Chains A and B, each alone.
Chain A
Amino acid sequence: MQCFSTNDSIAAMQKSLDALWLRQQVISDNIANQDTPGYKSKTVSFEELLLKTLSSPGESPFEERVLALKPKVKQDNSLSMGEDDNSVDADAENIALVRTQLQYQAMAQALSGEISRMSYVLNGGK
Chain B
Amino acid sequence: MPFLSSLNISGSGLTAQKLRMDVIAQNIANAETTRTEAGGPYLKKSVIFTEQTASFNSALRSAQAGGVAVTGIVENRDAVARVYDPGHPDADELGYVSMPQINTTEEMVDMISASRSYQANITAFNAAKYMAGKALEIGK
Contacts and interface: CB of A to CB of B under 8 A. Distances in A.
A and B associate: yes
A100 B127 contact: yes
Contacts of B12: 32
Interface residues of A, number: 38
Nearest to B48: A37
Interface stretch (A47-55, A56-64, A90-98): A90-98
Contact of B131 (A33, A34, A42, A101): A101
Interface string A11-35: 0000001101110111111011111
Contact of A97 (B9, B117, B127): B127
Given A32-B16, A100-B127, A26 B56 contact: yes
A33 B51 contact: yes
B124 A28 contact: yes
A34 B17 CA distance: 11
A13 to B, nearest CB: 9
Interface residues of B, number: 40
A31 B6 contact: no
A33 B49 contact: yes
B49 A31 contact: no
A48 B10 CA distance: 28
Given A24-B6, A90-B120, A115-B139, A36 B50 contact: yes
A112 B10 CA distance: 28
Contact of A72 (B1, B20, B57, B114): B57
A33 B67 CA distance: 7
A121 to B, nearest CB: 15
A39 B48 CA distance: 13
Given A73-B57, A97-B123, A112-B137, A29 B131 contact: no
A24 B13 contact: no
Given A22-B1, A112-B140, A32 B135 contact: no
> Top 5 A-B pairs ranked by shortest CB distance?
A32-B13, A73-B56, A25-B6, A36-B49, A29-B66
